[in-house]
Amino acid sequence: MKDDRNLEQLLQQALSPEEEPDDWLNQNILRRAKETESMNRTYKKKMPAVAVLAAAVLCAGSLTAVAAWKYLAPDKVAEIAEDQGLAAAFQSKDAISINESQEYGNYRITLLGVVSGKNLSQYVTSGDTGIREDRTYVVTAIENTDGSPRPDVSDEHYGEETFFVSPLIKGQNPARFNAITMVGGYTEYVQDGIQYRITETDNVEIFADRTLYLAVSSGSLYDSNAYQFDETTGEITRTEHYDGVNALFHLPLDEKKADPEKADAYIRELEQELEGGNSENVRQEGETEESSDGVGRIAEKIQDWKEEDFKEHATLLESLTQTMTPDEKGQIAYSYENEDGSGSSGTLQTDSLFEDGQTGMSEFMNVMGGEEGSPVYVETFTRNEDGTVVLRVYQIEDTLL
């Protein structure tokens, strides 16, 4: 037993992941993924930043005329991003213009405008579950407070300081409900030293009857240290002494556009997705040569077998039968070895084997062996009236293989 514990410990220590992949490797993946995406624009047409640069250069001549006020208007930001559909949406009466700035460290962050609706952009975004038609678009500007220009997208320093822009919803934990889970994306470019970003997510207008925020923080992912979520009131606030940018604006959406029913359905759906955790996809995707082996077929065949069926079609290995009393945690532990050197050991929670008060044979069984012509064994678990559990090991008859 001591050896077993030592071995477990040794294996865990020696095999625990130690090394991080190099950063260049991760950057390479992101770059190659972007290239692949821009080559396969079937229905997802997010504009890569490099392409936007060309548009920005073309338009630069007309900028001085516009620059009566410091920032580009949201429709202009969309126009330069070559999204005429979105530019038109920002000119419509549904668009909300804002011009509010906050400063943190060396950065001034300005929220310029927001618009929501169906099919506004001429580029279609797809999530994992299909095309996302109903979207919210937010335009922000980031500049250096010392007046130096933000690095251009073609500059080698571009992307050294990353920002995460996301709408947040009062009452919903921002660690779970943010631009990433709400199928977000963004397009950005630098114009006159100011970094403009159009962030898009699923339409948050349905939540307009409660407080909506726009968070702009350092990093490329949501950082729980940057904001505080009060679970009682649902309020989201900035962390005062956060080391980095953690701007938080109110998104003044039109309350009349709120749709509580849709909002609840959206939250429910997202929660289900986040908590889903089953791996159906893995099963479908990773088809291997092992999926059709004998053990799989046997497992399917015997899944409804009762004790009588085992008696009829299998040989009970009596010497391996064990009666176990669950410990204080309700667990049973067993270990045995067959004559052919194969064996099994494990710890099982009796709650997972039997329903409350259930006696008799559990539906749960272990099928093992069957490789390269070796015998197939099945472990069954039967609970007695006194709470003890009997492990029986059967060898399946060759005719079933």
Residues of span 167-186 touching other proteins by CB under 8 A: 179-181, 183-186
Q: Are 135 and 125 in contact (CB under 8 A)?
A: yes
Q: Are 142 and 218 in contact (CB under 8 A)?
A: no
Q: Which is nearer to other proteins, 4 or 155 (CB)?
A: 4
CB of 182 to other proteins, least distance (A): 10
Helix (H, G, I), strand (E, B) or coil at 61: helix
Q: Binding of other proteins at residue 232 (CB under 8 A)?
A: no
Q: What six digits make up the tokens of 120?
A: 């506004």
Question: Rule CB under 8 A: which of 192-231 touch other proteins?
Answer: 220-221
Residue from 156, 240, 287, 386 in contact with other proteins (CB under 8 A): 287
Confirm or reject binding of residue 106 to other proteins (CB under 8 A). Answer: no
- Work out which of 366, 388, 390, 395 binds other proteins, going by CB under 8 A: 366
Q: What would the two tokens of residue 401 be?
A: 């293989």
The region of 120-128, 233-241, 311-319, 382-390 touching other proteins under the rule CB under 8 A is 120-128
Q: Are 81 and 123 in contact (CB under 8 A)?
A: no
d(CA 93, CA 118): 15
**379 binds other proteins per the rule CB under 8 A:** yes
Looking at the Cβ atoms of 127 and 260, the one nearer to other proteins is 127
Identified binder of other proteins from the candidate list 80, 378, 389, 391, rule CB under 8 A = 378
Position 285, amino acid: E
Residues 6+ apart with CB under 8 A from 356: none
Q: Among 38, 102, 331, 344, indicate the residue that binds other proteins (CB under 8 A).
A: 344
Q: Which helix (H) or strand (E) holds 392?
A: strand 389-396
Residues numbered 136 to 165 that lie near other proteins (CB under 8 A) are: none
Cα 112 versus chain centre, distance: 29
Which of 93, 156, 261, 284 is in the footprint of other proteins by CB under 8 A? 284
Do residues 88 and 229 make contact, with C-beta atoms less than 8 angstroms apart? no
Classify residue 357 as left (phi > 0), alpha (psi -120 to 50) or beta: left
CB closer to other proteins out of 3 and 328: 3
Residues 311-340 close enough to bind other proteins by CB under 8 A: none
